[in-house]
Chains A and B, each alone.
Chain A
Amino acid sequence: MVRTHCPYCALQCGTRIEPSPDGVLVTPDDDFPVNAGRLCSKGWTAAQVLTAPDRLTTPLLRRRTGEEQRPVSWDTALEHVVARLRRITAESGPDAVAVFGGGGLTNEKAYTLGKFARVALGTSQVDYNGRFCMSSAAAAGSAAFGVDRGLPFPVTDLASAEVVLLAGANVAETMPPLMGHLDQADLVVVDPRRSATAERAALHLQPTPGTDLALALGLLHAAVTEGLVDRDYVERRTTGFDEAWQRAAEWWPERVERITGVPVADQHAAVRLLAAARRRYVLTGRGAEQHAKGTDTVSAYINLALALGMPGREGSGYGCLTGQGNGQGGREHGQKADQLPGYRKITDPAARAHVAGVWGVDADDLPGEGPSGYELLDSLGRPGGPRALLVFGANPVVSAPAARRITARLASLDLLVVADFVPSETARMADVVLPVTQWAEEDGTMTNLEGRVLRRRRVVDPPLGVRDDLWVLRALATRMGQPAERFPAHPAEVFAELRRASAGGLADYSGIDPEELDEPAHWPFPAGGASTPRLFLDRFGHADGKARFRPVTHRDAAELPDGTYPLRATTGRVLAHYQTGTQTRRVPELLDVVGEAFVEIHPETARRTGVVEGELVRVVSRRGVTVARARTVESLRTDTVFLPFHFPDGGRANLITNPALDPVSRMPEFKVCAVRVEPLGVPQPTNGSGDR
C-alpha cells in the first residue's frame, strides 16, 4: 500500500493505492486531514484513467497538414520537434515559439517547463491554464495581503467555523470532501444557480450573473450602515478603508437589489450572520473570479472581510478555493508569463539575478514578461505572433474562451506539440504528440489549496513507450544545445534546485525536505525555518505589515443581453467530471452519470423558446454555437442558462464564451455572456454569428 494523492482537484485528497488484479485500487486515506477518509467518485475511479483504452503509448507525428498522426519513435519525434523549433527560431526569433503549461503539473514539471521556456527556448511567450483558473483571486490576494496563498490557513480550520460565505463556489460538486469541514457552519452561498452547495446553505444569495461585484459592495455598505465594521482592527491592521468605502457608499443595498436581484433583507442578513460569528470565513471560487472584473470582485469580498476584521486572525479569514490539482504550486514556480520561481516577479531585477544564478545563466539573457494565456493563444499564427506552440498538461481547444477562434489559431501554427497521456482534443490537432506519465506513474510534489506541499508517489510503472515530462524537457533541451546537467530529469534533483530557486521568494520552499512531507509543510518554509500553516497572524505581507483595502466599483458585464441574445449564459462544472473532461470522460462510471453536454434552462424560458426537456438545443452567442441537451431546472433564474464545460467538439461550452479580459489578471469572462437558446430544428441564419 502506498499513500499518495488524488490526481484531480486542489484538495489533493489523500489516497491509498494498492495493486489489484485490474491495475490498482484507490481508497481514501483516513489519516490525511484534508479529506479524512472521504473521496468523491472521481477519486474513487481515478485508477481507470491509468488504463484508459486509448492511452497514448507512443509518440505520434503528422508530417504534413492533412495527413494522419502516425506512430514514430521518440528519437524521430524529438528530432522533428527540435528541427522545426530551430528553423522557426532562426527565421522569426525566440518569441516565435510559445509554451502553454498547466495547473495539474507537479511543482517539478511546472518549474522545469518555465525554465525550459526561458533558458532553452529563450522565449517570453509562456503562460498556462491557471490564467483561466484563479488568476483574479491571485491578483486581488496579492494586492490586499502582499502574498497570495489560496487558503492562508489549513483547510481543517474551516471545521470549527460558525459561518462561511462561499462566493461563487459550488464545493458540494467541485470539491465534495471539503463539505466535511463545512457541515458545522452556517453557509451563506452566493451563486446564480441553486447549486448543490446552495441547497445546503443557511442563506442563498442568487445574483444575476455578472453582478457579483455589486453584491459584494452592497454587503460592505450594509456592514458599514449597520455599524458592524471592526473599527479597531481596521485602524490597526489595514490601510485604505476610507477610499474603499467611498466607492461602496454608492452601492446601497436597495440599489444593489435592483442590479443583482438579491433581496435587501438577505444582504443585511448575510452581513449580520458574518458579523455575529466569532469564527467566520469568506471564500471565493471561480464564480466570483472568472469575470472581466474578477479581480475587483475578489477585492470587494476581501474588503468586506477586512472591514469585519477577519483576515489574519486564527479561526477567521479570507481564502480562495484554488481549482486545479497543483493550481497553487503551478502559479509559484515560473510557468506564468510574469513570474519566476518562488512567486517572484520577472520584472524585478533582484529576482532575475537570483534565479539566473541558480540556473547558471546571465540575468540579461532571461526574457521579460510575456502575454497572458488568452492573449498568447489568440496571437498564435498571426503576424508577429508565435508560429510554434508546446502544450504540457492543458487542453485549450476545450478550456479556452471563444473556442472556435482559439481552435483556428492553433490550426494556423507551423508546429503544435502536445505532451499528454490521452489523446485530448488539443492533442488530436497536434503535429507531434508526446505520450507522458500521469499521477500514479510518477514521483513529485504538489501544493494544495492550503499551500501545503505534498508527495505524489509512483505506484505503478507507466506503459512501455511513455516518458516522464521531465525526461521530455531534458531531451528537448539537450537537443537544443543545453548542457544535460542544467535539466535534471529526476524529480528529487529538480526539487532540490527548486528549493534554491525559491529561497527568499514569497513562496519559499527552501526548508522543505521532500522525504518529510507526511508532516505538514505549508509555505513559506525557509531553510532553517518552519512550516507556516497560518499566514498573517502577526502581520500581512506588505512592507508596512498592513492589509490594503482596494477601492473598487461595479460595472456591467462585458456583454449584456439584448433582443438577439436575450439570456445570460454561465458556465461551470458538474461533480462527475473534471475540467475539460479529458480524464473523467474516459471513466465509464462517470460518463454514465453525465455523458454529454447539457444546458440548464428554467421551464418558463424553455416554454417561451420552444425548447423541450431532453431535446438537443442550440445555444448561440456572438462567438459561436454549442449544442447541448436541455434540462429544465425550476430553481434557475429565468434569465440565465448554465452549461458545464467538460465536453468536446460541438458541445464545448466555450464555443460561446466571451474572451473579454480582466484588466489586471487577464482572466477571461467565462461566467457570463449573452446568448439565445433555440431548438435544433430552427434554421440557422447565414450571418450574424461570425467571429469578431
Chain B
Amino acid sequence: MSRVVIVGHGPAGHRVAELLRARDPRMRITVFGAEPEPAYNRVLLPSVIAGKLTAEATRLTDHGDDRIVVRTGVVVDDVDRVRRVVLTSDGEAHPYDDLVLATGARCFVPPLPGLVDEDRNPAGNVVALRTLADCRRLEGYLPAARRVVVLGGGLLGLEAARALTERGHDVDVVHMGPHAMERQLDAPAGRTLAAVLDRLGIRVHAGRTAMSYLDGGLALDDGSTLPADLVVVSAGVVPDTDLARRAGLQVGRGVVVDDRMRTSDPNIHAIGDCAEHAGLVPGLIAPAWDQAETLAESLTGGHRPYTATRTLARLKARGVDLAVIGDGNHESDDAEVVTLADPARGRYARLVVLDERVVGAILLGFPQSVGTVTQLFDADAPLPVDRLALLVGRTAAEVVDGPEHLPDQAVVCRCNNVTKESLTAAWRKGAHNARDLADVTRATTGCGGCAGVVEGFCRWLRDAQPAREHPLLSPTLVQQGSDRVRNPGDLRQPVPDVEDRAGR
C-alpha cells in the first residue's frame, strides 16, 4: 500500500489526488495545502473579481472520503529525502513513498518604493492577484478605489483589468513591453488590442516602467504620474521552488522534471506551475492537468510520457475576443503568413502556416473562427485551401433565391419531396393558391417550413399573369426555348406552361 504525499492543493495537486484515487483505491494520499481554505480553481478568479462568482463557487470538488487526507493551512517546511519524510509547520513528520511537489508559483512584485513593504510583501493599496485571499484583499480596497492601475499587461493583467471595468472602475494598464502581451502578439495586433481596450475604458500605457507608488500616484519612467487608489500587480509569476531547493533537487526556473514528471530524485515528482519540463514552465492550467495525468499514470504503474501541450492563450474578457494559438509571432522564410486587418472594427488576424498546418495564429475579433483554428492546430490537421474563409469563420447565411431563380428540379418541400416542377405542373392544372397546391402536391403539409416559399411561388405566378388573361393564352408570357432566367425582374420569363403551349 503506497503512501503518496502531495505538497500543494491548487488545481494540479487536487487533480493528481483525484486521478490517483480513481486509479488505485488502496493508495494512501495526503495533501498539504498552505492556504487555510479548501482547494479552489484559480482560473475562475477573474470571475470573482468581476463579481460574477462567489469565492465558494470556485471550490474544487471535495475528495469526499478518508482515502485522501487533506491538511489545509499546513506548510511543508522540509523534505528528508533519506528517511523519505516531509516535515510540516505543525511539527509533524509524514512518511512518503512518493512525494509530489505541486507548489505552484508566486506573484512577482517589483521592489519599488510604496509598492512593497519592508518584508517585500505588497504594501497597502497594492494587491498581487494569485489567491482567493488576494481577491478578498482586493475586495476590501475596491469600494474606495475609483481609479485602479494594473501593473503588467499580460494575459492575466488584462483579464483583471477587464473584470475591474465590468465593476465600474477606471483602469489604466502600465506595461513595460512595446505593447500588451508582446510575447504573444505582433505590433499590429498590439495596436488593435490597445484600441479595443480603450473603447472598454482601459488605457494601456505601453513601454513604460513604474518607478514608485507614493501619495496615491504611480510614477512612471517618463516622469508622468498616474493617479491610483489601488495598484493591482500582475507582473509575472515565479515558480515556487523553495522546498525543492532546500531538498537539494535540481532547479532551473522551476523544478526540473523528465517526461514522467520525475525530479532529480526518482521518488519526488513535480507538476504544474512549479515544474520545468524541457526548459519550459508553461504556467497554464491545461498543461498542469495534462502533467497530473502523466504522473498519475506513472505512479500507478503506467507510462504516458508528457509532451509539451500545444499552447493556447485565450483571453477571458467580456467584449474582447482574443486567442493566440501556438506561436502566433512565428516568422520564417518557408512559412505562409495570412493577415487580415480591420483596425477600425478592432479586428486583426494572423495565421502562420507551415506544411499546410497551423503553427500559430493570432485572432483578435474573430470569435467564430477561434474554435475551428484551435482544433485544426491541436489535431495537426491540414488546413482548408481557402484560408480567408477559415479566418472569417462562419460563412454568411445563404441568400434564399426567389422562386424565379430556382431550377425546375429544386426541391421546394423537403418533407414531401415536391419540386418546383411539380408545383408548376399543379398550377397548370388549376391549383392557384397554397391550399390547392398542398392538396395536389402535399407541399407545406410536412414541417410547414416551405409555406413562405410556396406563397411566394403563388404570388410570382399570379403577378406574372395579366389579371384578365389565362396564362396559357398570354403570348407575352412565353419565351420559348429558354429555361433560364436572365433577369430576376423579368416576369415574362418563368412561365411554367411552355411545353403545354408548344405541344398543343
User: Which residues of A approach B to under 8 Å, CB–CB?
Assistant: 28, 37-41, 44, 171-173, 176-180, 183, 196, 200, 208, 224-227, 243, 245-247, 249-250, 252, 254-255, 257-258, 260-266, 551, 561, 566, 575-576, 589, 592-593, 604, 608, 638-639
Contacts and interface: CB of A to CB of B under 8 A. Distances in A.
B52 A254 contact: no
Given A41-B415, A225-B47, A249 B446 contact: no
A145 to B, nearest CB: 24
B115 to A, nearest CB: 31
Contacts of A38: 445-448
Decide if the interface of chain B is mainly helix, strand, loop or mixed: loop
Contacts of A200: 449
Nearest to A262: B371
Contacts of A44: 416, 442, 445
Contact of A172 (B374, B393, B445, B449): B449
B370 interface: yes
Given A38-B446, A575-B414, A639 B375 contact: yes
B417 A263 contact: no
Contact of A258 (B58, B321, B375): B375
A260 B414 CA distance: 30
A224 B57 contact: yes
B61 A246 contact: yes
Nearest to B11: A250
Contacts of A40: 415-416, 446-447
A576 B418 CA distance: 12
B41 interface: yes
A444 B428 CA distance: 43
Interface stretch (B249-257, B345-353, B379-387): B379-387
A246 B414 contact: no
Given A40-B447, A249-B59, A265-B321, 8 more contacts: A28-B445, A44-B442, A176-B414, A179-B448, A245-B57, A264-B370, A265-B368, A604-B384
Contacts of B372: 261
A264 B367 contact: yes
B60 interface: yes
B364 to A, nearest CB: 13
9 smallest beta-carbon distances between A and B, as pairs: A179-B447, A176-B447, A176-B446, A261-B371, A176-B415, A265-B367, A40-B446, A254-B314, A40-B415
B199 to A, nearest CB: 17
A249 B445 contact: no
A260 B381 contact: no
Given A38-B448, A44-B416, A179-B447, A608 B382 contact: yes
A41 B446 contact: yes
A551 B446 CA distance: 39
A561 B372 CA distance: 16
Given A254-B316, A258-B312, A589-B417, A39 B445 contact: yes
A566 B385 CA distance: 19
B336 interface: no
B321 A264 contact: yes
Contacts of A208: 375
Contacts of B381: 566, 638-639
Contacts of B449: 172, 179, 183, 200
Contacts of B445: 28, 37-39, 44
B44 interface: yes
Nearest to A204: B394
A263 B370 contact: yes
B341 to A, nearest CB: 21
Interface residues of B, number: 41
Contacts of B368: 263, 265-266
Contacts of B415: 40-41, 176, 575
Interface string B219-259: 00000000000000000000000000000000000000000
A350 to B, nearest CB: 32
Interface centre among B52, B321, B379, B442 (most CB of A within 10 A): B442
Nearest to A211: B375
Nearest to A553: B61
A638 B371 contact: no
B65 to A, nearest CB: 14
B375 A593 contact: no
B280 interface: no
B411 to A, nearest CB: 9
A630 to B, nearest CB: 18
Nearest to A243: B61
Contact of A252 (B57, B316, B447): B316
- Considering residues B314, B321, B385, which has the most beta carbons from chain A within 10 angstroms of its beta carbon? B314
B416 A224 contact: no
A225 B375 contact: no
Instruction: Among B375, B385, B447, B449, find the residue whose CB has the most chain A CB atoms closer than 10 A.
Output: B447
A247 B375 contact: no
A225 B286 CA distance: 20
Contacts of A249: 41, 44, 57-60
Contacts of A180: 447-448
Nearest to B15: A250
A592 B368 CA distance: 38
A462 B200 CA distance: 74
Contact of A227 (B44, B52, B58, B384): B52
Given A264-B321, A576-B417, A604-B385, A252 B43 contact: yes
A38 B442 CA distance: 9
Interface string B51-83: 011000111110000000000000000000000
A257 B44 contact: no
Contact of B378 (A245, A258, A264): A258
Contacts of A246: 59-61
Contact of A561 (B371, B379, B448): B379
A224 B371 contact: no
A266 to B, nearest CB: 8
Nearest to A551: B61
Contacts of A176: 414-415, 446-447
A243 B57 CA distance: 10
A247 B57 CA distance: 11
A225 B314 contact: no
B68 to A, nearest CB: 15
Contacts of A262: 371
Given A638-B384, A639-B375, A263 B314 contact: no
Contacts of A37: 445
Contacts of A172: 414, 447, 449
Contacts of B416: 40-41, 44
Nearest to B50: A225
A136 B385 CA distance: 40
Given A249-B58, A604-B384, A257 B314 contact: yes
Contacts of B316: 252, 254
Contacts of B447: 38, 40, 171-172, 176-180
A200 B453 CA distance: 14
Contacts of A183: 448-449
Interface in B24-48: 41, 43-44, 47
Nearest to A252: B43
Interface in B311-346: 312, 314, 316, 321
Most buried by A among B43, B60, B316, B415: B415
Contacts of B52: 224-227
B371 A258 contact: yes
A424 B417 CA distance: 25
A250 B448 contact: no
B60 to A, nearest CB: 7
A250 B367 CA distance: 21
A179 to B, nearest CB: 3
A178 B47 CA distance: 40
B413 to A, nearest CB: 9
Nearest to B316: A254
Nearest to A258: B374
Contacts of B61: 243, 246-247, 551
Nearest to B444: A38
28 contacts: A28-B445, A41-B442, A44-B416, A172-B414, A173-B414, A176-B414, A178-B447, A179-B446, A196-B414, A200-B449, A208-B375, A225-B47, A225-B52, A226-B52, A227-B52, A246-B59, A249-B41, A249-B44, A252-B44, A255-B286, A257-B374, A258-B314, A258-B371, A263-B368, A264-B321, A265-B367, A266-B368, A551-B61
